[in-house]
Amino acid sequence: MSKSRQVGLITLLALLGYLALSFLPDTHCALLHGAHEPLLVRGVEFCGINEEANYYSPQKMRFPVKMELTLNADGPSFLWLKGEDDRPLLDHEISLSHTQKIHLHLRQVQGSRTYVHIHPTPTEDGRWSFVLPSEFSTGKAGETLQAFADFVPRRSGRVMLAECNAQLPVRVLESVPGAQSLSLVSHTSNTDRTGETALIRVKLAAKDHQAVKLLPLMGSLGHAVLFGDPRSNSGYAHMHPSLEGGEYDEQPSLSFRLKLPAPGDYDFWLNVNDGTNQYLRFTLTVTK
């Protein structure tokens, strides 16, 4: 075989290898979680026994991506993720991660405490479109929303984080009360000391006293997000449950492992699906 053919064959094999790797299951949790070894039980993904989530400040980590957000009350809102060349990332440049391409976390930091986890859809010009959720309809115009996004560029195969703020539009939507069918029975943690790994266990019940059946949500039985103070400790942790038992009880329990961040009070938001999308919050206090 001639040298030019050898070079061509090696190049082709390398290209096929890259394409094959790009379509393997994503490594989304490899940054968000340490010792990433997920388990698949009943078709639902759980975090491994030694896996722990980490708290990050995207701005301090200086990822080579800039996020911009425009909120609209009368139509679609838009997200841009721009690389170092200021060019927006397009649909084909981002891999699937927990069944979605972009995980956008919107948190209201003024007025009422509100949070939603949504997934913008791509447009041809590089914008990612979404509708401002009704959860923010009771906010006042000009109040600040804090936004975090995690996603996996296909080229690197590694998770990136981005952060920005945006203001609620001048005319907010009419208030649409959400149907909250679940309540938080208890939340416990084996430690509250900074730097230690906490096992945070959350128990849920139905408000109508019926048995609760949690349904898969983005491949998992639930998602949790931890937010710090937006002024002094801006950042977040994105968590998925570990398999600890109790997940399929009539009053199910979900457990999350988290390396506790700096001392302070944090908003812990749980997102589950019992037939409808549910959000529950409590305050997690970390000590020295």
pLDDT digits (tens, 9 = 90+) for 110-137: 777 889 999 999 999 999 999 987 767 5
Q: 8 vs 143, which has greater pLDDT? A: 143
Give Cβ neighbours of residue 153 (< 8 Å, ≥ 6 apart): 89, 93, 94, 95, 160
Distance CA 258, CA 196 (A): 8
Express as a percent the part of the chain with pLDDT over 70. 76
What local confidence, expressed as pLDDT, does residue 87 receive?
94
Structure tokens at 148: 């975090």
For the cut 90, the answer to whether the pLDDT of residue 167 exceeds it is: no
Tell me the pTM.
0.81
CA dihedral 121, 127, 130, 135 (to 10 degrees): 140
Report the SS3 class of residue 199: strand
- The predicted pLDDT at position 219 comes to 83
Lowest mean pLDDT among 7-16, 90-99, 208-217, 219-228: 7-16
**Banded model confidence at residue 41, pLDDT cuts 50, 70, 90:** low
Give how far Cα 276 sits from Cα of 97, 163, 273, Å. Answer: 22, 28, 5
Name residue 266's beta-bridge partners: 284
Supply the mean pLDDT for the chain: 83
Q: 107: which residues sit within 8 A by CB, 6+ positions away?
A: 114, 115, 145, 146, 147, 148, 227, 267
Q: CA 94 to CA 155: how far, in whole Å?
A: 8
Eight-class DSSP state of 134: G
Domains of the chain: 52-167 (2.60.40.10), 182-286 (2.60.40.10)
Q: Quote the pLDDT of residue 174.
A: 53
The region of weakest confidence among 49-58, 99-108, 198-207 is 49-58
As a whole number, mean pLDDT of residues 24-37 equals 46
In this prediction, residue 32 carries a pLDDT of: 56
Mean pLDDT value of segment 55-82: 91
- Residue 117's pLDDT is 92
Are the CB atoms for 173 and 140 separated by under 8 Å? no
What mean pLDDT is predicted for residues 212-216?
A: 94
Best mean pLDDT range from 29-43, 139-153, 253-267: 253-267
Q: How confident is the model at residue 148 (pLDDT cuts 50, 70, 90)?
A: very high
| pLDDT at position 84 over 80 | yes
Q: What is the pLDDT of residue 209?
A: 92
Q: What angle is formed at CA 154 by the lines to CA 24 and CA 91, rounded to 5 degrees?
A: 115
Find the mean pLDDT for residues 231-250: 92
pLDDT of residue 99: 83
pLDDT at 46: 63
Mean pLDDT of 167-188: 74
